[in-house]
Amino acid sequence: MKTRFAPAPTGRLHVGNIRTALHNYLLARREGGTFLLRIDDTDRERSREEYVEAIGEDLRWLGLEPDETARQSQRFDRYEEAFEKLRAAGRIYACYETPEELELRRKVLLGRGLPPVYERKDQDAPVPEGRDPHWRFRLDHDAPIEWEDRIRGVQKFDPRLISDPVVRRADGSWLYMLPSVVDDMDLGITHVVRGEDHVTNSAIQLQMFDALGARRPVLAHEALLVAAEGKLSKRLGSVGVEEMKARGLEPMALLSLLARIGTSQPVEPMDDLDRLAQGLDFAHFGRAPAHFDMAEVEALNAKLLHAASYEEVADRLPDEIGEAHWQALRGNIAHLAEAADYVPIFTGEIDAPEPSEEDRTFLETAANLAEGLPFDDGIWSALTAALKEETGRRGKALFLPLRLALTGRSSGPEMAAMLPLIGKERAVRRLLRR
């Protein structure tokens, strides 16, 4: 098995094409196959080398590194060969209409209630003077197009209702259709997973595979992503790796969601791509649009961090946060960067609110009691039990002034885990406001 992800280097990756890359990656990984990154850079005007590099960086950050890479800009000779082969077989022909003429004819057909399908011209007609041709692939109208789609089931197209596609512009540059087929053929692509907006493209390209004598790949067209509020997926174009990094999100939070939304399988926080790969099953993919919600990514991110071991995150934590600190904090961390906010509580100075006069006396009592207690794992229970007996305070009146004085926060990780890490000397000093 060999799959591919084929972005054009005209921008950064966003969640829609990240999802496509992920499903192709997982399919190859599940079957022990190969995942190819193909850079579709035939459009020389819009393609940028900086985006080629950015796509590679984004895939590395996501953990979706390809086994092989290819660039269409290095394969123009092969496209030329296939073009000439199809032209010699009568499957590619020259056309001379201007865009304006084509648009006018399209409107005329629509006005008559007819499908706006390109009308083939007599190839013996005189060539308009001063015009260079663009080139179209001649669909075989006598060969209905049919395939078993892994997601959409049996797909059938009448080629007479599809315009012969332009494969090459008048300036000699290539459009998407033919180069993609030649690449899939030459590079041994066996399975193609992509969005349902490519279904008609696939119908056309299957005839190109047949005309070139190539094996057809297995196809799976997944429903498109839409934003949670129901807007079109174009609204999601700005949601990508850059935003994920800016939010401090874990790659697996995003991938856990993208792997499962739009399926009947539950969305769960997964910390391993192999687990996601083993769970990939196109039989569970639905036909309805898949709703992407950043809040779900945030929730998965928190769940992943709450379950993360120290070893999994140690290299990204501040030096002051050791394993015991992480065990105390992780249940209250939604983004890993938040761990740095707790460093002053353990090793520095905090800005605690000024207590009331009554609470000040209470905290002095707490300091005196703390001085005589061992600062082991049971210090919080011992201290609060002694204070309850000494002052009669219970509940919030007992716990909140202590938490505020010791951490500067009204909520957070369990004090039973925090207080031993703060240490006796620092704790007593904070209780006495020194």
| DSSP secondary structure, 280-310, as one string | --GGGB-SSPEEE-HHHHHHHHHHHHHH--H
Establish whether 107 is an annotated binding residue: no
What's at 418, amino acid-wise? M
Positive or negative, the Cα torsion across 174, 175, 177, 180?
A: positive
SS3 157: strand
Sorted by sequence, the CB contacts under 8 Å of residue 277 that are 6+ apart come out as: 26, 27, 29, 30
Count of Cβ atoms closer than 10 Å to residue 269 Cβ: 19
For residue 192, list its beta bridge partners.
219
Burial letters 99-129, b for 16+ CB under 10 A, else e: eeebeeeeeeeeeeeeeeebeeeeeeeeeee
Report which of 267, 303, 301 is spatially closest to residue 284, judged by C-alpha positions. 267
* Gap between the Cα atoms of 29 and 332, Å rounded: 34
Distances (CA, A) of 279 to 79, 106, 191, 255, 274: 37, 46, 18, 13, 9
Question: What phi, psi does 16 have (nearest 5°)?
Answer: -65, -50
* Gap between the Cα atoms of 11 and 266, Å rounded: 32
* Gap between the Cα atoms of 373 and 386, Å rounded: 10
Task: Mark residue 10 as left, alpha or beta (left: phi above 0; alpha: psi -120 to 50; beta: remaining).
Answer: alpha
* Gap between the Cα atoms of 323 and 342, Å rounded: 14
Sorted by sequence, the CB contacts under 8 Å of residue 376 that are 6+ apart come out as: 420
Per DSSP, the chain holds a count of helices (H) and strands (E) of 18, 12
What's at 287, amino acid-wise? R
* Gap between the Cα atoms of 258 and 91, Å rounded: 40
Triad 365, 370, 373: Cα angle to 5° = 135
Pick out the residues of the known binding site for ATP.
234
Pick out the residues of the known binding site.
234
